[in-house]
A and B are shown apart, each in its own frame.
Chain A
Amino acid sequence: MIALKLVPHLVAFFGMATVALRGATRRGMLAGTALAGFLVGTGFAVVSTGSVSGQFSFSLVRALLALSFLLFCAVSFTALYQSLGGSLPVGWLERLSSRPVSRSCALFLASAAAGAVAGCRLGPAVPSWVWGALAAAAAVLVLAAVLLESRLPAGLSTSRAGYLALTVAFLLFSASWSTRLDLFAPLTMKVMKFTHDFVHQFFESMLIPDHLFIHSYLWGYIGLLFGKEVGFWGGLIIWFTPVVMVFLAIGLERLPSVAHLRQGAQRRRVLAEAIRTRRMRLVLPGLALVLLASAVYRSLYPSVEYWDPKPVPVTANAGGEIFLPRKGEIDLMDGKLHKYVFERGGKTARFFVLLTPSGKLTVDLDACAICKPDGYGQAEGTVLCYYCKTLIPLETVGKPGGCNPVPVPFTEQDDGIHLSGVTLINTWSGTVQSTTRTTEKGK
């Protein structure tokens, strides 16, 4: 089972090592660096998930992956700008990156990142035989990469940005097999949040009237901007833009000037050769495109099951207060997500109670302030927003913001928890319904 879990990560490592060896001079040294990097990364992740808070290790690795993606964005943008005729003072950087030492360092870091992803997937309790098997498998794969690389056609090369594209794509592909390291789902959430905030700020800045004064059909169209689809498509655009820029940078490279050649046939030959070489250089970024697409697929269809109880109807007393006993038919202290539904004056609010890892109870709406209220499910160490597929660590449930469930004020007493029905309904109306205008035809 462990071996099966590690297959995609080892495949990604093998691909990265093969790419790094392409066109290199000291292949033995590079192969050793890749192996060392992978093992160091795996060891670090396994040790840190066991000793530090689990969330920290995952956050760190995810931040490293995000930084590599940002670096890829910058490099691809520079490549495109230069191929369009722009000049940038980055010659020293190119000279530095082409040195063997720089190449080794970059490979070590990339392999360490790949190893860290695999280590996070393994988790803290790893038997020693797994370590041995993993090291052996990585060594065999590095040897296989050396062999494969030497048999690849010489013409199969690409630009520096193209190599980086493939390396980052392998990393993101590897990360997509772990729901807590996947970058695409949080990216879609960030895009949704950005769109939401941008529309809000734009309306405020441009003094555009609020929904109260605008036709509901028109607001329905504006409401589309708050939908999951915007996050998904916006995320896709950001996800694929760097690799598309690499394609464009290669595709739009100026063909060599042939104006000095005075024979048409000679001109055509030179141009045809340049075009053929250019096409060959698109093959490796094409592979990166496929890997990124498969990472998106993994992100959309993760193989995880969630605890999602049916909401229990509750009522308020004459003073409008809802009371939930600490221990009754439902044990609020069992660490599971408990969902409730409250109805008043034709309005319904769904909420849940959860015991957080810090030992405190929290009451939150079964919805966030950004997404449509599809609710949350509970998995190991996290709750998941069903709408945008964002994972929220249990440690942060009860804190407002982003895709976190909206907290509801309550008082905790010895017998149980008390909360105001009016506050609950108003909180739901104020924060959740504003995101559901599309379906509800106006607030």
Chain B
Amino acid sequence: MRKLFVRLWRLISSRAVTPAVIAIFLVLYALVAFWTDEALVVLMQLVRSNPVLTALLALLPLNSACCLIAETRAFWFRRRLLAGQELPVLPGLFDEEVPLALGALPSPATVTRVKGNLESAGYRTRVGERGTAAWRGLNGFPARFLYLVGVLCLFGGILVSLTTRVSLRGTVVEGESLPGAGPGEGVVSRISYAKADGLVLSKRLVIESSDPGSGRREEYGIYPPARFKGAFVYPRYLGVGVAFRFSAPELPAGYQQQAPLSIYPPGKEAEVAVPDTGYRLRFSLQAPADGSDPYSTGKLVINFKLLKGAAEVAAGTLASGGEFARDGYRLALLDARRVVVTDLIKDRGVVPIWLAGAFFLLALCYWVTVRLLGPRRELYITWRGGAGLALSRAEGRRRRHNELFHEALDRIADDSAH
């Protein structure tokens, strides 16, 4: 059982798992791309719906967590070894392991000479009863640690986002409740839209809502997204909600409808068909002569065209509350309000993914600094019960470090020969 666990642990904490899983997903992507142009979307849907693929994706955060534990353990183990603690030398802890010939164990005088040489090369040394350790530079492990935490956050976030994300698209209209709100709660009191001088955002959109019962007021902006009932409020598009009443000579009873129209910015057209009549109403937002933004000012003037089949029957302009009448045709614009088409998204993966970015940045900064200033180089010569072992490891400037390592071994061999 223990053997099985060890093998399983070795497999899951292998560094090969993450690249292998990513390679599998790349191959899957390539195969999907042979059949469909929407390969990424299809692959995401596949991962979402297929437990095997979900489990495969889950291997990524699992592997990074296991690597994190295994590598942290190895790091502390190596530190304790260099500090002189009596521990076995596990395979893979060092780059090079050279057994010293029997009878070639260093004398105290040799150890002193080797120590002196290494110290003159900038190494710090520690001579103990069972071995001599030398090291120099800063350890790169913190960068690796941060990187692995980043990978864990990134793929954990992607997994959570893919499997649990819930999105509801709704229309936020002035004077009405937010989508998904209970009766009387989260009533949108005002939508304001103005220019902004931010570094990234050029516009400022604020959806103000109030709760008539509790009197609590909330504001939802563009970024960072605020939350309503645990869901992010993510504004997508702007539009105009119109309520109109239309009647024609052969339709005296009239037809009334409320519709959110995607007619922002001015000039963009949208059509509403009057059912079973052949009539179509084509709306657009009139651009104010002074160049102002009608959505910002709230002065929404609507251009309309009334079409029957291919023929244009009437055309005109209406403001909220206005009415058009000619040749038996009547069109009354009962109301025109600002509308924001908004997604309400419940997603616990967003924050970990952003955190991953921060971890990667920190890891990169630390790694570059350490590599430029002084990468870690370690050397350890140990002798126990007549057997000796020389160990070496370098995170950078390997050639110079190896020279020193070989010189130290040469010196030990020479001294023991004489």
B237 touches A205 (CB 8 A): no
CA–CA, A429 to B350, complex, Å?
31
A193 touches B310 (CB 8 A): no
A259 touches B161 (CB 8 A): no
Interface status of B119 (Cβ within 8 A of chain A): no
Contact of B203 among A205, A213, A258, A264 (CB under 8 A): A213
Interface residues of B in 216-235 (CB under 8 A from A): 222-223, 225, 232, 234-235
Contact of B268 among A77, A190, A257, A429 (CB under 8 A): A429
Interface status of A156 (Cβ within 8 A of chain B): no
Contact of B16 among A81, A214, A264, A422 (CB under 8 A): A81
Interface SS of B by simple majority: mixed
Q: Mark B38-55, 1 if CB is under 8 A from A, else 0.
A: 111100100000000000
Residue tally, chain B, CB below 8 Å to A = 59
Check A194/B225 contact, CB under 8 A, given A86-B16, A209-B235, A320-B307: no
B237 touches A258 (CB 8 A): no
Interface status of A216 (Cβ within 8 A of chain B): yes
Look across to chain B and name the residue whose beta carbon is closest to the beta carbon of A82: B16
Contact of A86 among B15, B36, B307, B410 (CB under 8 A): B15
Interface status of A276 (Cβ within 8 A of chain B): no
Interface status of B27 (Cβ within 8 A of chain A): yes
A422 touches B271 (CB 8 A): yes
Look across to chain A and name the residue whose beta carbon is closest to the beta carbon of B38: A401
Q: Which residues of B contact A193 (CB under 8 A)?
A: 37, 39
Look across to chain B and name the residue whose beta carbon is closest to the beta carbon of A63: B34
Interface status of B201 (Cβ within 8 A of chain A): yes
A197 touches B40 (CB 8 A): yes
Check A318/B311 contact, CB under 8 A, given A207-B350, A215-B200, A422-B282: yes
Interface status of B400 (Cβ within 8 A of chain A): no
B200 touches A214 (CB 8 A): yes
B44 touches A201 (CB 8 A): yes
Interface status of B98 (Cβ within 8 A of chain A): yes
Q: Which residues of A contact B19 (CB under 8 A)?
A: 77, 81
Q: Which residues of A contact B34 (CB under 8 A)?
A: 63, 66
A190 touches B345 (CB 8 A): no
Contact of B201 among A74, A215, A321, A345 (CB under 8 A): A215
A-B CB pair tally, cutoff 8 Å: 117
Interface status of B312 (Cβ within 8 A of chain A): yes
Interface residues of A in 188-225 (CB under 8 A from B): 190, 193-194, 197-198, 201, 205-210, 212-216, 218
Interface status of A304 (Cβ within 8 A of chain B): no
Interface residues of B in 166-186 (CB under 8 A from A): none
Check A209/B201 contact, CB under 8 A, given A194-B40, A422-B269: yes
Look across to chain B and name the residue whose beta carbon is closest to the beta carbon of A59: B34
Q: Which residues of B contact A210 (CB under 8 A)?
A: 236-237
Q: Mark B248-268, 1 if CB is under 8 A from A, else 0.
A: 000000000000000000011
Interface status of A267 (Cβ within 8 A of chain B): yes
CA–CA, A155 to B402, complex, Å?
29
Interface status of B319 (Cβ within 8 A of chain A): no
Interface status of B238 (Cβ within 8 A of chain A): yes
A259 touches B271 (CB 8 A): no
A401 touches B44 (CB 8 A): no
B37 touches A401 (CB 8 A): yes
Q: Which residues of A contact B198 (CB under 8 A)?
A: 215
B311 touches A262 (CB 8 A): no
Look across to chain A and name the residue whose beta carbon is closest to the beta carbon of B349: A205
B residues touching A (Cβ–Cβ < 8 Å)? 15-16, 19, 23, 27, 29-30, 33-34, 36-41, 44, 96, 98, 161, 165, 198, 200-203, 205, 222-223, 225, 232, 234-238, 267-269, 271, 282, 307, 309-312, 345, 347, 349-350, 353-354, 390, 392, 405-406, 409-410, 413-414
- Interface pairs (8), CB distance under 8 Å: A194-B39, A210-B236, A212-B237, A214-B201, A215-B198, A259-B96, A347-B267, A426-B268
What 5 A-B pairs are tightest by C-beta distance, nearest first? A319-B310, A402-B37, A401-B37, A197-B40, A259-B98
